[in-house]
């Protein structure tokens, strides 16, 4: 696993999500949210299958820190 400039990536992701907000014209469920965030992340980073798995693991860990399941 290679280290990344997380602050820079988060800034780019934030800008990409902000731009995407203007395009979204529908109501959706949590999987739609995941799709839109994933699309934006894919625009910022080109990730391998392993990178994607590592990201999902980190995402689950971050969620567990906020919902009391950690």
CA distance 36 to 18: 11
Distance of CA 39 to the CA centre of its chain: 8
pLDDT in tens, 23-55: 999 999 999 999 999 999 999 999 999 999 999
Q: CA end-to-end span of the chain, whole Å?
A: 23
Q: Residue 1's pLDDT is what?
A: 61
Structure pTM? 0.83
CA distance 4 to 36: 22
| Upper half-sphere CA count for residue 35 (Cβ side, 13 Å) | 7
């Amino acid at each position: 696993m290679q280290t990344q400039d997380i602050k820079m990536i988060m800034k780019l992701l934030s800008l990409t999500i902000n731009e995407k907000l203007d395009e979204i014209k529908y109501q959706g469920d949590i999987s739609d949210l995941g799709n839109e965030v994933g699309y934006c992340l894919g625009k910022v980073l080109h990730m391998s299958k392993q990178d994607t798995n590592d990201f999902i693991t980190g995402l689950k860990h971050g969620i567990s820190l906020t919902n009391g399941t950690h």
